[in-house]
Structure 1
Amino acid sequence: MVFLTTKMMQKTALFVTVGGLITSLITTFLPLWKTMNSDLNEVENWYSGLWHTCLYTEEVGIQCKAYDSILGLPMDLQISRVLMSVSVGTGGLAVLAAFPGLEGVDVCVGQPGVKRGLLIFGGVLSWVSGITTLVPVSVVAYTTVVEFWDEGFPDVMPRWEYGEAMFSGWFGGLALLIGGTLFFVAVCMGDFDRRPPSVPNSPQVKHRTQHYLKTEVL
């Protein structure tokens, strides 16, 4: 295909990585990781995130409050805070590392090996960012399911359910993984374009070449 060039693949990888990074960043600060609605009071909706909880009522609107103590948080939220922070940091570094390695960027001009290494480094960081996004979201989703079906809680007690941030986190993590993979594909395409022209290397050609050399010497 004409449009499937190394340069286009590099731009696509950067675009997908930036999209996944922005989605993960928004997911980190959204208070919509878990939602809860009581059957006894349907006008109140509770939302829980990594940094604060929010209460929505029709009369007042949304009121948010930060957690009083980090040590008082459940273990899954503490781990998710750390991993999502690592995800945003590594995702930003992936973009900064891969951008100078793109074709057409006037950085490290005439040094294809350096540009190739920057793209590989950006792809690895994008993978790390994607994994550190998917792990906390999946852990919180697992604990939410376990607590939802816990038979030790009374039936009248409201349960936490999935929020919109869970799905955006999965989407952002997958986008970061795909972006990192596309960086590796772009590197392979660049190596293929820079390969030397093929030289006949059959035994008959080798024998004829040696014969001609001996004839010239004689």
Structure 2
Amino acid sequence: MASMAVQLLGFFLGLLGFLGTVVATLLPHWRSTAYVGSNIITVTAYMKGLWMECVWHSTGIYQCELYRSLLALPRDLQAARALMVLSCVTSVLAALVSVMGMKCTRFARHSVIKSPLVLSGGVCFLSAGLLCLVTVSWTTNDVIMDFYDPFLPSGMKYEIGLAVYLGYAAAFLSLTGGLVLCWSSSGDRSQRPLHMQRNQPLSPPPAFNHMYPPAPPYKPPEALKDNRAPSLCSLSSSGYRLNNYV
């Protein structure tokens, strides 16, 4: 029961990380306008995401526009898109594999593949968390470098948006869930031999003679029964004893 509870905890942590990754991927709040210099008092605020760019007016109007051309986007934005989508796909795969490998499911019950499936799901959650963490860390570094660039105008400087912080939280949840699943799988594999020895009675191996009958005993031919090597003291003729003919 303890191992089952640990597996459920790791699965739900990874599932929360997956949901956070999806929300962070879709939100446009990756970069928000920095209020520095002449931008301290402004009536509009700009926000940029992976898929769209939004403008918020002080009157309450919120407008968003999708990026129409993929090739016209910067390379860092294209890489961030690919990494986040790959992280979401890996999380889906991790969830499916983990569900099949957990003890609370009926798939392959009492089978030896349960533990490897849980381990594979944990590794997939770890990979998804690392992909998300790399993306948000890369974006954070770009925003900070542009913010402290003295040659960049104040109107083109941005701050870290809410989606980046959500991405950090999602990556942490995915990594934690993957570690918990891997730990539960390793503990299950270490205890399995003792459990099998305790519950399963020892049975003797099948007798070999039931599979293959034993060979008949060797009996020498009657004609060669009393043959022996001739000696000088024995009365023999041509190597045969006389009592064979009496």
Fold shared by both chains (TM-score > 0.5): yes
Stretches of structure 1 that go unaligned for 5 or more consecutive residues are 200-218
1:177 aligns to what? 175
* Aligned AA (1:157): G
1:125 aligns with 2:128: no
How far does residue 182 in structure 1 lie from its aligned partner after superposition? 0.4
Task: Kindly tell me the number of residue pairs found equivalent between the two proteins.
Answer: 193
The match for 1:29 among 26, 29, 33 is 26
Q: What CA distance in whole angstroms lies between the structure 2 residues aligned with 1:127 and 1:180? A: 5
* Aligned AA (2:27): L
RMSD of Structure 2 on Structure 1 (CA): 1.8
How far does residue 110 in structure 1 lie from its aligned partner after superposition? 2.0
User: SS in structure 1 opposite 2:113?
Assistant: helix
Structure having the larger proportion of residues in helix: 1
* Aligned AA (2:169): F
Could you give the per-residue CA deviations for residues 92-151 of structure 1, whole angstroms, max 9, x where no partner exists?
10000000111121110120x211111011011111101110111111111111111111
Q: What CA distance in whole angstroms lies between the structure 2 residues aligned with 1:103 and 1:147? A: 50
Could you give the per-residue CA deviations for residues 151-175 of structure 1, whole angstroms, max 9, x where no partner exists?
1123x43411100000000110111
1:58 aligns to what? 58
* Aligned AA (1:29): L
- 1:140-155 correspondence to structure 2 within 5 Å: 140-154=139-153
User: SS in structure 2 opposite 1:157?
Assistant: helix
User: SS in structure 2 opposite 1:50?
Assistant: coil
User: Percent of pairs identical after alignment?
Assistant: 27
Give the structure, 1 or 2, with the largest relative contact order (CA under 8 Å, sep 6 or more).
Answer: 1
1:168 aligns with 2:183: no
Q: Give the conservation status (yes or no) of the 8 Å contact 1:37–1:44.
A: no
* Aligned AA (1:98): S
Could you give the per-residue CA deviations for residues 39-76 of structure 1, whole angstroms, max 9, x where no partner exists?
26522111100000000013252100011311221211
User: SS in structure 2 opposite 1:186?
Assistant: helix
Stretches of structure 2 that go unaligned for 5 or more consecutive residues are 198-246
How far does residue 194 in structure 1 lie from its aligned partner after superposition? 2.2
